[in-house]
Chains A and B, each alone.
Chain A
Amino acid sequence: MLAARVTRRWEKLPGKNTFCCDGRVMMARQKGVFYLTVALITGTCALFFGFECPYLAVHLSPAIPVFAVLLFLFVMAVLLRTSFSDPGVLPRALPEEATFIEMEIEAANGNVPAGQRPPPRIRNVEINNQIVKLKYCYTCKIFRPPRASHCSICDNCVDRFDHHCPWVGNCVGRRNYRYFYLFTLSLSLLTIYIFTFDIVHVVLRSMDSSFVLICFFTLWSVVGLTGFHTYLISMNQTTNEDIKGSWSGKNRVQNPYSHRNIIKNCCEVLCGPSYPSVLDRRGVMLEAPPATTTAPVKSTTPEPQTTKTTAPLIPNEHTPEDVKPSIDTTSDKTCPASEDEKPHLSQFPPLASPDTLEPAGAH
């Protein structure tokens, strides 16, 4: 008897992510800079623990290295959580949903004369009394929700897209922005901590201060980044919106997501609920060996007939013509005794097909 091989959804996901641990870990393709980040943090802390802590523990207090260890562990934990978690990737529309959206666009645009470019695919929504434009993503075939953006490096639409961070090896979006912020904040604290005790050590022992210099430069960049993100959080903006200038300028829309209160904005971003991942990575996909009664054990996956992956613009049939006849013949072959067992179910009427919709004002 054969057992079907289990394939998880992450193996077939589009986009340029890499997955580890059977789909539990999700990162961008380029991980080099991430390894550098880990190496720099671990290396600096190792030097601190190796060279300075013995002296400081004995001459000042043993609490100093203990607190440094705790802080270092916290930094690594939030770094790994930022890097390994799903940033809020929006799954691409399956062809039926894509087709439905295409039909709505066609209905809204009406007849475009030949030779003219069709109008851009934009949907206007009113959010807190401001008009926000939702853009259509041609890759994912969806209208992007507000604040979502398409990351070209990972080739995914990400909800509440902030930026793609090579240091962390992942996009920063709705689900991991909090961890990213805590990473920059705790890394700033760790760097300031090490820097301070470096200076203390140097002063106490009158030793050379080259190590202090490295810390100094790292410190300013990390502290600067933390400051920038603190500002963004207090205004409830993303890096993406800030760079594009979405809410700044006189004639632009004011930020409709801000509560106009710094405390409320910070609470929403930092103390809000932990959003679940909507990207199914570990779901099992049905794979099957071909249907023969005497088939030997096969480990390769079968290839049922599939047609092209892009959705047609206005379909008349949801089933491609070449698949339909083969469905009937195969079911006859494999289920010869089923004819008398087929129950007689009442025919449910189909839903109104797309062609019966009125061209304008249907929705």
Chain B
Amino acid sequence: MTKCHSGFSALPQFHNLQELRHSASLATKVFIQRDYTEGTVCKFQTKFPAELDSRIERSLFEDTVKTLNNYYAEAEKIGGQSYLEGCLACATAYVIFLCMETRYEKVLKKISKYIQEQNEKIYAPRGLLITDPIERGMRVVSFFSLQSDVLNAVEVYKSQTAVTIITDGEDTGLPERRTVRLSFV
């Protein structure tokens, strides 16, 4: 199994959605905003945006957003488990957080698995992808559509040692051409 040093491995399979997601920056994006009617708990609006009208069924979209909202509600629930975690952590002067994962972090892992699964099963076949809200500061769930020329750029890397990828510049956010040299060991 070859491994390259640039931060991502040469994958045997096509359609690795992580790579597609990072590369699909030329497409239009739709942002689902937060719903603050119940206070500062993390909840997203379930109102169906007009731009997605022809791309995805309303019920699927609402299901996804409602499930995400349920996950976040579970993470932020103030009850027996959160008290126990808080008291235990306080008793150890919060040193325990250096070794233990908090309940919220566990739920976040579940959420990212759920989003990946939704992308694979429902959204990618319709040419859409969802980003995990944690990557946008929990402000928005963004949907964007894949363009075929961007998919081509990703496909190229399978056979080359250098590849041009079009990604979001992390500080500018505008599409940038980056050429990455892969070294194989």
What residues make up the interface of A, taking CB atoms closer than 8 Å to B? 1-4, 6, 9, 12, 14, 73-74, 77-78, 81, 90-91, 93-97, 100, 125-128, 132, 134, 142, 145-147, 159-160, 179, 182, 256-257, 267-268, 270-276, 278-280, 284-286, 288-291, 293, 295, 302, 304-309, 311, 318-320, 323, 326-327, 330-331, 334-335, 337-338, 341-343, 345-354, 357, 362-363
Contact = CB atoms under 8 A, between A and B. Distances in A.
B38 interface: yes
Contacts of A318: 25-28, 175
Nearest to B95: A77
Contacts of B180: 4, 286, 288
Interface string B79-116: 00011011101100111010000111100100000000
A276 B102 contact: yes
Contacts of A73: 93
A272 B136 contact: no
Given A12-B171, A273-B77, A351-B144, 4 more contacts: A81-B94, A145-B34, A319-B26, A342-B152
Contacts of A182: 90
B21 interface: no
A65 to B, nearest CB: 18
A15 to B, nearest CB: 12
B7 A12 contact: no
Contacts, number: 244
B177 A278 contact: no
Contact of B173 (A95, A285, A304, A305): A95
B147 interface: yes
Given A179-B94, A306-B176, A348 B137 contact: no
* Top 7 A-B pairs, shortest CB-CB distance: A348-B127, A291-B179, A94-B173, A1-B183, A95-B173, A77-B93, A3-B5
Contact of A125 (B26, B36, B103, B168): B36
Nearest to A12: B171
28 contacts: A78-B93, A91-B136, A97-B140, A100-B30, A125-B37, A271-B83, A271-B87, A272-B86, A273-B76, A273-B78, A276-B102, A279-B137, A286-B167, A288-B178, A289-B181, A291-B181, A305-B176, A306-B172, A319-B175, A320-B175, A327-B164, A330-B164, A341-B156, A343-B151, A347-B148, A348-B148, A351-B52, A352-B53
B6 interface: yes
A286 B82 CA distance: 37
Contacts of A159: 40
A335 B164 contact: yes
Contacts of B94: 77-78, 81, 179
Of A290, A293, A320, A341, the most chain B CB neighbours within 10 A belong to A341
A273 B103 contact: yes
Contact residue range for chain B?
35 or more
B153 interface: yes
Contact of A309 (B40, B137, B171): B171
B174 A307 contact: yes
A84 B51 CA distance: 42
B170 A285 contact: yes
Given A323-B176, A327-B177, A338 B159 contact: yes
A224 B77 CA distance: 32
Contacts of B146: 348
Contact of A91 (B77, B137, B143): B137
B147 A267 contact: no
Interface in B103-158: 103-105, 108, 127, 134-140, 142-148, 151-153, 155-156
Contact of A341 (B5, B53, B136, B155): B155
B177 A326 contact: yes
Nearest to B136: A97
B6 A335 contact: no
Of A147, A284, A318, A337, the most chain B CB neighbours within 10 A belong to A318
